[in-house]
Every structure is written in structure tokens, then in C-alpha cells.
């Protein structure tokens, strides 16, 4: 692990935290563990790049007995880990709806960073 003083804060975009809190307890705990790894500059145990949403966007992949869950985030920025979207996956591919939500939130992060001189 990196130096414990280098924990990058998490910024939840729009309803991402509220959506994550709807996950079953086991999936919530696993998500928390994986986000903690990301805060210290490590990769989650199971992830894939999702650059079609935006440069640096990744997806944490969580499979539990009662479902498949995804958390889209971007950690490439120095000031924070931005959690863009948390959802239960109900089909083999990620739906256009979920991609659109993550993409719009990614654009909001970019706009916010521009306005605040990042």
C-alpha cells in the first residue's frame, strides 16, 4: 500500500452514492473495499477500462449471489476519485441508459474541474 497520508478523497457525482446504498450489504462492503484500494492508487480486484465514457473511466465489477453490480469511476485526477455511477447490471452488456448517465456525469466533472482551475 502507498503512504497512508496519500488517501485520495472520493467525490460522489449526482446520485451515485444513493444508488450504491441500494446495493445488498455484501456488494456494498465489497464496493467500499475496492474504492479504498483506488483511494491509495491501487487497482480494484476486478475492473475493466470504460474509455467510451471518457478518458480514464473504469468500471469496478462485483458479482454476488444475488446479482451483478458495477461502479463507474475516474481516478486519474489528482484531487479526487470521482464515482460517476453505481448500478445493478441486468443484461450481458451495459445498457445505453447506464452509459449515458456515466457519460453525462463525466462531462459534469470535466466542466467543474475547468471552472475551478484544475
Average pLDDT of the segment spanning 61-66: 91
pLDDT, tens digit, for every residue of 79-106?
A: 999 999 999 998 889 999 999 999 999 9
pLDDT for residue 70: 97
pLDDT at 22: 96
d(CA 73, CA 37): 13
pLDDT tens-digit series, residues 37-62:
999 999 999 999 999 999 999 999 99
What pTM does this model have?
Answer: 0.93
Domains of the chain (ranges; CATH) run 4-115 (3.30.2310.20)
Instruction: Report how far residue 80's alpha carbon sits from residue 93's, in angstroms, rounded to the nearest whole number.
Output: 28
As a whole number of angstroms, the distance between CA 102 and CA 106 comes to: 6
What are 83's strand-pairing partners? 12, 73
User: How distant is the alpha carbon of residue 25 from its chain centre?
Assistant: 18
- Dihedral in degrees, nearest 10, Cα atoms 100, 35, 19, 116: -60
Amino acid at each position: 500500500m502507498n503512504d497512508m497520508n496519500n488517501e485520495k478523497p472520493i467525490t460522489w457525482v449526482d446520485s451515485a452514492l444513493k444508488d450504491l446504498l441500494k446495493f445488498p450489504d455484501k456488494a456494498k462492503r465489497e464496493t467500499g473495499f475496492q474504492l479504498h484500494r483506488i483511494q491509495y492508487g491501487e487497482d480494484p480486484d476486478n475492473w475493466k477500462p470504460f474509455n467510451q465514457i471518457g478518458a480514464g473511466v473504469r468500471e469496478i465489477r462485483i458479482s454476488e449471489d444475488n446479482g451483478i453490480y458495477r461502479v463507474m469511476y475516474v481516478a486519474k485526477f489528482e484531487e479526487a476519485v470521482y464515482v460517476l455511477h453505481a448500478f445493478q447490471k441486468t443484461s450481458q452488456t451495459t445498457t445505453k441508459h447506464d452509459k449515458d448517465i456515466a457519460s453525462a456525469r463525466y462531462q459534469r466533472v470535466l466542466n467543474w474541474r475547468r471552472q475551478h482551475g484544475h
